[in-house]
Structure 1
Amino acid sequence: MTGDALLTRVHGLWERLAAVPGPFPTGGGVLIVHSPRSRLCPPGWAGIVRLEDGVLVTGPDEPSTGMLRRALAGTPVDALVRADAVAARLPVADVLGPAVLAYLPTDRFRPVAAQVAALPAGHDDIRALIAAAGPEDTEESGLADVDSPVFVLRDGADVVAAAGYTSWPESTAHVCVLTAPGRRGRGLARRTASAAVGHAFDAGLLPQWRARSKASRRVAGALGFREMGAQLSVRPDVVR
């Protein structure tokens, strides 16, 4: 898949998630639209997604969207997915992110050979790993929401690393990885994620990786993922 074809496919994904007509902005463009059904962010929030040199922003209602247009006008594309830069221009009650968005065409994949097992999502051993990791790491990983098989590594009877994916629109596989506390930094995430990515490719899906931490970004980079943008969600502090 060429770079242009990949970007076109990723644009299509976020256009659909934004629930707005029209193409994703390019060439340094910024589009700010009212979209109460946007899935770029939680309900009632504003969603900001940058892909290469274009940014799409969705507001939950007309007052918030108008405020976004006034406050963010003229802001550089890169700054629109920086929480500090947005908060300096806009009254913000809460923030999620930013997270880097990365994608993996088949010709860039660098698989890792590993003896992993596959378990169904929701298996007791997966729930035990989730409990050990705690709510913050589990939410960040997204592993509790996967709908694919979950690929795991064990230490004895215990699952110490797991990866799967959630099916997103436009034939996209959102990859989710979780490693037990105390077992990180040993290459386990890369091995389980490689198995999940291979399964996604076999299903004809485009793997997506969303990461906030440098460690997660390193895992994605080792597998060949290409960073193409970032996502930020803010809850505007609107006085009504």
Structure 2
Amino acid sequence: MKTVLHKASDRGFANHGWLQANHSFSFANFFDAEKIQFGALRVLNDDVIAPSMGFSTHPHDNMEIITIPLKGTLKHKDSMGNQWETIKAGEVQVMSAGSGLLHSEMNANTDEYLSLFQIWIIPNKRNVEPRYDQQFFKAEDRQGQLQTLVTSIDTNDQGLKIHQDAKLSRIDLNQEQKFTYNTKTLKHGTYVMVISGEVEINEKTLKTRDAIGVSNTKSFNVITNLNSQLLFIEVPMS
């Protein structure tokens, strides 16, 4: 088993006033040669956006973009014809930028901060037709069991679809609970983000917003020290 530990305090941080951004990997003005990507996982941003603020219209291409609101409501519009779609906490949004698109993202609330993860995964197909989707996931369906959020468009598995042999999933675990995560193949690695709580993975202690990349193994164990919420991002490593 190979692991790489990313402590929350070691992430890149940018304070734009309206945006408080934490970068797990090199992004914008944050550069760390040891944190370019984890396999096909290129970006994991942990953002807090002020009321009524957000990202004005900007372009993307050839990237699979997943947005997970944790608190509050996001609104989104794009050049594919989607006009201010709302994505609430509990929902997940996917966007295949493919051959290119324009979009805007804003905090839909005028009196509440928006907290979200934005994840970029490098696709296995270039210049595909851009596509958009979103889905609601019940919190009770991840109590003590893995809840699949996103999988490959080439499979019939549950969840939203992207152009990559990847899987995103969540689980909520109680204190002193053990969970075994099984990887698809030895060519896949799994990036584990502790949304909240405290866990032990491979004899390493991870607290809220700490993360660990695990590769070269068929499975690994998670043991909770506190009630914990976890996000798993499993991607090809090459």
TM-score (norm 2): 0.30
Q: Which structure exhibits the higher relative contact order, with contacts defined as CA atoms closer than 8 Å and separated by 6 or more residues?
A: 1
Larger Rg: 1
Which structure has the highest helix share of the two?
1
TM-score (norm 1): 0.30
